[in-house]
Amino acid sequence: MRRRYLVNDTTVEKLGELLNKNPRGLLLFRDELTGFLRTLERDGHESDRAFYLEAWNGTGRFRYDRIARGTIDIEAACVSILGSIQPGPLGHYLRAALDGGVGDDGLMQRFQLLVWLDVAPDWRNIDRWPDSEAKQTAYKVFERLKGLTSAEIDAHCDADLGGIPCMRFADDAQELFTEWRTELERRLRNEEDHAAIQAHLAKYRSLVPSLALLIHLADGAGNPVSLAAVERACGWADYLESHPRRVYSRGLVGDYVAAHALARKILTRQVPDGFTVREVYRHHWANLSTPEETSKAVNVLLSPRSTHGRAMKSARC
């Protein structure tokens, strides 16, 4: 039987058949994610979104009933998605999602290893061979992990997870993770971030243990997961946290541009104390020409994190 690791362009029904033949899961790779996201937004693809949302956990089952294919029982719905997307399409997708559109279902928050790439201000030509030793080391890890069995790492089956083999933290690793999660939970409850960002960071509860397990297995160790692996996973999460903030700003930028415009009008006394929303948008100022734009600007300025909040105390909405 052919062992599959990657799929590119596939229907969810065919993906289900491939998953039954590859119960360890598959990676859906799309060099450009825009096409994938647009497909999910089409009429008739509502069940596709539901499948990818449920396949994120990697522990569940899924059932398709189709006239042509009959009933497809997916015993292990486990799919990872990897790809890239341009800032423009990403901003459009996020604005629709953050405004309660079709994408407002938590799919974007499931891209946990989200990274915003910066272009270096200076460019220099680098013409050298890749690090062959590092590449070979990585290949050896992949080769070893693809044939790994639960017995080799002393993983124990968990009845609550349908018999999926599991590993636990060492005592000191558990202590560190508890400290890290306690701080995360505290920050998630202070409501200083946008709800979309909070939802993204909330999934770090599972991201850090997942990274720790992968790091631990890549190092060739067995049960339990070490303190060193958890330390590196926590460090990775700390690095990643700034990236979803920048990514989601592509969807929030319209609100903040409007808020900045309104703050400037307030500070230059172009609007009176105790102004109404109508008194602003009737001027047709840039980024403040509609009731919706003006209301969003007011909401941003009144938010606890706004640096202009004090200037809005006299605003009436």
51 is a domain residue: yes
29 is a domain residue: yes
Q: What is the DSSP string of 131-161?
A: -HHHHHHHHHHHHHHHT--TTTTT-EEEGGG
Task: Count up the domains in the chain and report the number.
Answer: 1
Q: Which pLDDT value is given to residue 160? A: 74
Q: Which pLDDT value is given to residue 73? A: 79
Q: Which pLDDT value is given to residue 308? A: 45
30 is a domain residue: yes
**What tens-digit pLDDT sequence spans the chain (317 residues)?**
678 899 998 888 888 889 888 888 899 999 889 888 888 888 777 788 888 888 888 777 777 777 666 777 787 788 999 999 987 778 777 876 776 655 677 888 899 999 988 777 888 898 998 899 999 999 999 999 988 888 889 888 877 776 788 899 999 999 999 999 999 999 898 766 778 888 899 999 999 999 999 999 999 888 999 999 999 999 999 999 888 888 887 666 666 777 878 888 898 889 888 888 888 888 878 668 778 778 888 888 887 654 444 444 444 44
Q: Which pLDDT value is given to residue 248? A: 81
Which domain, by its residues, includes 12?
A: 6-85
Q: Where does residue 159 rank: exposed (0-12), middle (13-18), buried (19+ CB within 10 A)?
A: exposed
Q: Which pLDDT value is given to residue 16? A: 85
**What's the pTM?**
0.75
184 is a domain residue: no
Q: Which pLDDT value is given to residue 305? A: 52
Q: Which pLDDT value is given to residue 103? A: 61
- On whether the CB atoms of residues 25 and 75 are closer than 8 A, the answer is no
74 is a domain residue: yes
130 is a domain residue: no
63 is a domain residue: yes
Q: Which pLDDT value is given to residue 281? A: 86
31 is a domain residue: yes
